[in-house]
Chain A
Amino acid sequence: MIYLQLFWEYFKIGLFTIGGGYAMLPLVSQVVIKYSWLTERQLADFVAVAESTPGPFAINLATFVGTTVGNGQGGFWCGLLGATCATVGVVLPSVIIIIVITKLLDKFRKSKIVDGLLYGMKPVVVGLLGSAVLSLLCREILPNLSTKTYTYNFDGFSVVSLLLVALFVPLSKVKFKGRKVHPILLILFSAVLGVVLFGVVGVGV
Chain B
Amino acid sequence: MISILQEELVVRKKWISAEDFADMVVIAESTPGVIAVNTATSVGYRLRGVLGAIIGTLGVILPSFVIISALSYLINTLQDNTWYKSAFAGVRACVIVLVLNAFVNLGKQMDKDVFSVSLAVISFALVSFVNLDAIGFDVIYLIIFGGIVGVVISLCKNSHTNNQSDDLPLQQSSDLPNEEEQQ
Residues of A bordering B, CB below 8 Å: 12, 14-23, 25-27, 30, 33-34, 41, 44-45, 47-51, 53-60, 63-64, 67-68, 71, 76, 79-80, 83, 87, 90-91, 93-95, 97-99, 101-102, 105, 108-109, 112-137, 140, 147-149, 160-161, 164-165, 168-169, 171-172, 183, 186-187, 189-195, 197-199, 203
Interface residue? B169 (CB, 8 A): no
Given known A108-B27, A127-B119, A165-B93, contact A94–B63 (CB-CB < 8 A)? no
Taking a contact as CB atoms closer than 8 A, the residue among A116, A135, A140, A189 that contacts B153 in the complex is A116
- Give the CA-CA distance A164 to B144 in the complex, in Å: 36
* B contact residues, range: 35 or more
A67 touches B99 (CB 8 A): no
Interface residue? B101 (CB, 8 A): yes
A134 → chain B closest CB, angstroms? 5
A131 touches B88 (CB 8 A): no
B68 touches A124 (CB 8 A): no
Taking a contact as CB atoms closer than 8 A, the residue among A17, A25, A41, A95 that contacts B99 in the complex is A25
Interface residue? B121 (CB, 8 A): yes
Residues of B bordering A, CB below 8 Å: 1, 23, 26-28, 30-38, 41-42, 45-46, 50, 53-54, 57, 60-61, 63-65, 67-69, 71-73, 75-76, 82-83, 85-103, 105-107, 109-111, 115-117, 119-133, 138-140, 142-155, 158
- Give the CA-CA distance A30 to B143 in the complex, in Å: 14
Residues of B within 8 A of A44 (CB): 91-92, 95-96
Given known A102-B42, A140-B96, contact A128–B89 (CB-CB < 8 A)? no
**Would you give 16 A-B contacts (Cβ < 8 Å), ordered by A?**
A20-B34, A44-B91, A44-B96, A55-B61, A91-B41, A98-B38, A112-B155, A120-B148, A121-B146, A124-B146, A140-B89, A191-B87, A191-B88, A191-B90, A192-B90, A195-B86
Residues of B within 8 A of A71 (CB): 72-73, 76
Residues of B within 8 A of A19 (CB): 106, 109
Closest to B88 in A: A45
B72 touches A67 (CB 8 A): yes
Given known A12-B140, A80-B69, A116-B151, contact A195–B87 (CB-CB < 8 A)? yes
B53 touches A99 (CB 8 A): yes
Taking a contact as CB atoms closer than 8 A, the residue among B54, B91, B105 that contacts A45 in the complex is B91
Closest to B149 in A: A120
- Give the CA-CA distance A101 to B35 in the complex, in Å: 15
A64 touches B38 (CB 8 A): no
B92 touches A41 (CB 8 A): yes
Residues of A within 8 A of B146 (CB): 120-124
Residues of B within 8 A of A161 (CB): 89, 92-93
In this complex, the member of A99, A169, A186 whose beta carbon has the largest number of chain B beta carbons within 10 angstroms is A99
In this complex, the member of B34, B117, B132 whose beta carbon has the largest number of chain A beta carbons within 10 angstroms is B34
**9 more A-B contacts (CB under 8 A) besides A91-B33, A98-B53, A148-B128?**
A22-B106, A30-B139, A98-B31, A118-B150, A124-B143, A127-B126, A133-B96, A161-B92, A186-B94
Closest to A113 in B: B151
Residues of A within 8 A of B88 (CB): 45, 48, 191, 194
Which 5 A/B pairs are nearest by Cβ-Cβ distance? A120-B150, A194-B90, A127-B123, A55-B64, A94-B33
A87 touches B91 (CB 8 A): no
Residues of A within 8 A of B42 (CB): 98, 102
A54 touches B95 (CB 8 A): no
Residues of A within 8 A of B155 (CB): 112-113, 116
- Give the CA-CA distance A14 to B144 in the complex, in Å: 14
Residues of A within 8 A of B41 (CB): 91, 94-95, 98-99
